[in-house]
Every structure is written in C-alpha cells, then in structure tokens.
Amino acid sequence: MFNRSIDFLKRKWRETLLVIVLVSQGLLGVILGIQLFYRAGVYFLDAGYYIYTLASENFGQQPPAIGDAWGSTLYATHMLITPLIITQVLRIFVDEPLNFIAFLGIQNFILSVAGAMLMMVSFWLNGVKRNKLILPGIMGALLLPFTNVGLGSLLYPHVELIGTSLAAIAVLLFALRWNAVGDRKIFVVAIVLLVLGLLAREDIGVHLAVTVSSAVVCSQWRNLGKQGLIRASWLLGAGVAAVAVLMGYQRFFADSKGVFALTYSGTPAYAHITSVWYLLDRAMHMLSSRLDLLVGLAAFVMAFFVLRKREYLAFPLAMLPWLLLNLTAIDPAKNSMGIYHLFPVVLYATAPVLALTLSGRREEDETTSPSRGSVPMYATYGVAVLSLFLGGVSAAPTGGGSILTSLLRLPPISPAGITATHTAIEDFAEIGIGITVDDAVMAIRPVELRDTPLIPVISDSGDYNSALFFPRYYLGHKGVRQLLKGWSDANRPITVTCLPGGLVRLDAADPELLPMEQTPERKFDRALRCHPFPKD
C-alpha cells in the first residue's frame, strides 16, 4: 500500500501539488479569519452585519438594530442568497462567527479553483498539451487569492467574491464542454454553479451580462455562427433574469432605497462632477491606486495591437464600464477600487476565453495567417495574474500585504481560547446598562450586544462605566482614547483588565474628590500591553 502511494505521487506529483495548493488556500482563509476575529479584531461593517443576519432566525429579514443605529434588513442592501445558504448549512456544525469564518475559507478555496481553471483553460485553448497544464494551474491557484481580489475579501471580510468566482468557474466549464471535453456532467455542474453564482449577490447578473457582451463583440464573427449566438444569448438571458428577479424583490418587498445613489451616483445624480478637471483628478487617483490592474489590462491591449486578435480586447472591454462607474463614484473608496472592490475581475477575466469558445472551435483549428499571428493568451494572463498578485501583497492602503503579515505573526488562539472569548463577551453583555464596545467585539456577538452602543458613536463618557475592546484593532482606537480622556478628566479611577483572546476591559469607578496621577495615555498603554504586538 505504501509503495503504491509513493508510485502514485511520483506519477501524479503535479496534480497532488495542485490539490495541496487549493486546500491550503481554503485553510489560509480559515486561519486568517480566526486571527482577524479573535486576535486583531474585525470591523463591524460589513462582517458583523452579516453575522447578525446569520444569527437571526428569519434568514436575513430581521433588521439589525445595533445600538439603535440600524434598521434596514440585509436584503435591502444586498441579496446574498448563496452565502446565506452556505453559512446556514455550516451553522449546523458551528455557531456564528465561526460559520462565517468557515465560509471565508470556502470562498478562498473557490477563488483558488477559479484561478487554476482560468490559467489551465486559457493555456489549453492555445494548444498547450494537457500534461503541461498543471503548473499554470498551480500558478493561478497560488497567486490569485493573494491579489486585492482575494486579500480584500479576507482582511476586510466580504462575501461577494464567491459569486463572481462561481460564475467564472461555470463559464470556464461551459468553454470546456463546448470544445467537446468531458460528458454532460460538466454541463450540469456548470449550470448549478452558474445559478449559485448569480444568487450570490443581486448584481452578479450584471457582471455576467457585461462579460458575455464583451466576449460577443470581440469574437471572430465569421466563426461565431448561430450556435455561438444561441450560447451567448442564454448566458446573457440568465444574467438579466437573475438581476430582474433579485432587484425586483429588493424594490418591491425589501423596501430598498437609494443604495446605488449612496455610493455611486449621489443625490442629485452625479452633481458631484463639477468639471473635466474633477474627472481628471479622479482618473489620476485611480491610476495611482490600481496600477496592478492597469498593467494587466495594458498587456491585453498591447497583445491586440501586436497580434491583431480582437479576442484580447474582451477583458479590457468588460472592465471599461466598471472602471467608468468607479471613476465617477461619489465614494472615494469606490474611486480607488480599494479593499474588496475588484471582485468582478475574476468573472471579467473569463471574457477572452469565452470569446474564443462561443463558436465551439479551438484556436489551433484555425488557419493562422502570417499577418495575424498566433494567440499565446497564456502570456497575457500570466502578466495579469502576476501584476494583480504584486498589487495585493503591496503595503496598505492599496494592498493588504502588511495586514496579512501582521495577522500571521500574531499568536494562534486555541478552541478553548475562542470559547473563553465568547464567554467573556456574553458575561459583559449581561451587565446591560452603562457599557460600550468597539466594532470588533460587536462583530463577534452582535445579537447579545444589540442594545449596546459602539464606542466611536458615544457622545458623553459619563453615561458609561465599562468598555470592552480589541487593543490590536487595526483600524484605530480614536473612540477608546476619547473615552479614556473623558473618564480621566472626570477624575474617575480607571481599571484595565486583560481578558482571553485579544480582549481588554476598561472600568471607570465613581469620581474621586482629590486629583489622581492617572493619565489616559498611561492607561491606554497598559491596555496595549495586555496583548502586545509582535516585535520586529
């Protein structure tokens, strides 16, 4: 048995390595999620919002009225059906937020599968032999999760990425089936994944429609034919139908109001665009923020001019409306396309592959004239993936490399430590009156703390006697410092208590008559020493 296993590994070492990379990416998602939630502290928006929904009993319909500051249902903002289904299934095994953390691992695994398939299918369509496809697949599976697409969805936890990843895998499976690879099972699996992808968020259908449209425009018309148009039409129809159903539900049943205007168009629509210079300034900001994306786009554009194959333009054409939308967005975070805002890229990148396969004919089957050249699309995909990878691991704010290394350097937490953290938060919540917490604590137990105000929004420190927070919270402690200053100015004795995980509790007693020697800076430094940052 042992010898047969060794022989198998010798013959299938590439395939084994690919599987190891894929599984490792899923495990990395879980590890980073645990470190973020229980060691560093996670921002309540949007992760805690999702967790509140996951912990509710009516599947996203319960308004998350956190600290009297919330009131709209999750569906009024986003229709996240697929993530809700997956996390509710995971809830059978683990409670929130661990089911959400497990979801992050699954999402990262699916992204790595999409990266591997994108590289392997694009190589295969350009005549690379099957026994040479595994190493490109390893490259895609290894690099794509470390781009801003992957790291943004892990370090600032979001769930949208699973939708475009599933839809991208479905498009690639359709491409394989249309090139007579495999049996009907591939087609059935592709349909299932496409449906799950379209249900992951209400606008995934828009991105699918953009991808298909750009692929049709950039296809070789003489090869597209009736069959290619039919394939493109039902993919386009699936995207439009999904958008109509999900957004229709939001509009008529979830009372959704002005979500697009809030972050993109503004009110009145695009009144913030006052001159051409404003747009030019925004364009320069986007260029400087997203060089990792633009290098990949430039590689495809240059390949179009050099090799004279319009399939190369499908990816840039699919990106164009997304770039324009973010260029004119009223929200600066959208304009820089930072954090997780690049999530459609995974699906858009399938557009050149789709453009080559709508006709059902492999590129190597065509007669290549000297003036048109060959289409080594794998070269441009390699440049694009490598560029996105370098952008993802760069320093913040444009990349998440420094946050990633900071999380991995923190000491791991045991299952007993996780349980102790939950217990500490639940015991704190039972105090009920005069307590406040930071975003990171709220994200772990938003139901138990639903009537507890967040530290950054409180106005009078005199109304509060206790606070619970994460000293390693990477988005800052301005509210905690202000709270300590208010207590110190009121001459209230402050006690710092180190708790399990990454927690610290602050308690303020009644004011003393005589001045005390305590200072808010000294108390804050004492809190930081509870869970010190790793030394360089």
Q: What is the side-by-side order of every strand in the sheet holding 435-437? A: 435-437, 466-469, 504-508, 494-498
- The C-alpha atoms of residue 119 and residue 96 are separated, in whole angstroms, by 35
Domain boundaries, the chain: 2-41+78-407, 415-528
- The C-alpha atoms of residue 366 and residue 229 are separated, in whole angstroms, by 19
**Residue 157, exposed/middle/buried by CB under 10 A (0-12, 13-18, 19+)?**
buried
Kindly state the DSSP code that residue 492 receives in the 8-state scheme. -
The distance of Cα 482 from the centroid of its chain, to the nearest Å, equals 32
Strand-pairing partners, residue 507, are: 466, 495
Residue of 231, 151, 234, 158 whose CA lies nearest to 201 = 158
Cα within 13 Å of Cα(75), Cβ side: 20
| pLDDT of res. 495 | 94
Spell out the residues 6+ positions from residue 313 whose beta carbon is closer than 8 angstroms to its own.
214, 218, 300, 301, 304
| pLDDT of res. 422 | 95
Number of residues written out for the chain:
536
pLDDT tens per residue across all 536 residues of the chain:
655 656 655 667 788 899 999 999 999 999 999 999 999 988 877 777 777 776 665 665 655 555 445 556 777 778 889 998 898 899 889 888 899 999 999 999 999 999 999 999 988 887 778 788 899 999 999 999 999 999 989 998 989 999 999 999 999 999 988 877 767 889 999 999 999 999 999 999 999 999 999 999 998 776 778 888 899 999 999 999 999 999 888 888 777 766 677 778 777 888 888 888 888 888 888 888 888 999 999 999 988 888 888 888 999 999 999 999 888 888 877 888 877 788 999 999 999 999 988 876 554 444 443 333 344 666 789 899 999 999 998 888 788 888 898 889 999 999 999 999 999 999 999 998 899 999 899 889 888 888 888 898 888 888 999 999 999 987 788 999 999 999 999 999 999 999 998 999 999 999 887 777 888 899 999 999 999 888 76
Spell out the residues 6+ positions from residue 294 whose beta carbon is closer than 8 angstroms to its own.
287
| pLDDT of res. 308 | 80
Helix, strand, coil in percent for the chain, rounding step 5: 65, 5, 30
Region class of 71: left (phi > 0), else alpha (psi between -120 and 50), else beta:
alpha
How big is the CA angle at 452 (ends 448 and 456), to the nearest 5 degrees? Answer: 130
